[in-house]
Amino acid sequence: MSFDVAILSETGPRARNEDRVGVRRLPDDRIGLAVADGLGGQAGGEVASELAIRRLGEALTANWNVNLEVVARAIHGELKDQQLLHPEWREMATTLSAVVIAGESLVGVHTGDSRVVISRGGGIRKLTQDHTEVQRLLLSNRITLDQARNYPRRNILDSALGIKTELRIDPIEFGVKPGDRIFLSSDGVHNKVLLRELLDLTSGLRTASDLRLLKT
């Protein structure tokens, strides 16, 4: 299976762009994809997301079939060590959503509120669930969907690499077919673009590179 890949990233309202993206072409027409969105201030967010993407890439280069959860937990441990060594980064953490596509199989790991989404034909669905306070309240029926849209703590994470609370890592497994479109995004995208809007925006694009047209 061949892959067509495009990357879009902008700083937005922040002083720094703390998002990092990883793409690794692997042997035998496989590919590794990842997005990490850092947080923590004092440049800690960009350090965390950069470290996560770099360590993941190194692991996939050494062994594309590596256990991604083991890699993610190792990154989490390294971030915790860096917090101790650099007090100014004591709050740093990063989301991580990463997948490896090999043949008709997609496997990955996810923590935080970045997302992996797949569109096929006229349909689109999330392959990940946000690890956020607002999502937890939604699932427990403590708030409604309408209330969630304006919830004042939408950006509070329940899990991320480097977080001080308990780490949660979800596995991702899905079958893929030629023609599928896989989207990895940070909350800067999916908090503004709904799934159906994403499908409508991208349905007429011929290649992944045409995604750059959406910036205009």
Q: CATH classification of 19-204 is 3.60.40.10, yes or no?
A: yes
* d(C-alpha 28, C-alpha 102), whole Å: 8
The number of beta carbons lying within 10 Å of the beta carbon of residue 130 is 22
Residue ranges of domains in the chain: 19-204
Tell me the pLDDT of the chain (216 aa) as tens digits: 789 998 888 766 666 788 999 999 999 999 999 999 999 877 799 999 999 999 999 999 999 999 999 999 999 999 999 999 999 999 999 999 999 999 999 999 999 999 999 999 889 999 999 999 999 999 999 999 889 888 989 889 999 999 999 999 999 999 999 999 999 999 988 888 889 999 998 887 766 666 655 554
Separation CA 1–CA 125 (nearest Å): 22
Q: Name the nearest CA neighbour of 96 among 123, 78, 82, 84.
A: 78
| First CA to last CA distance, the chain | 31
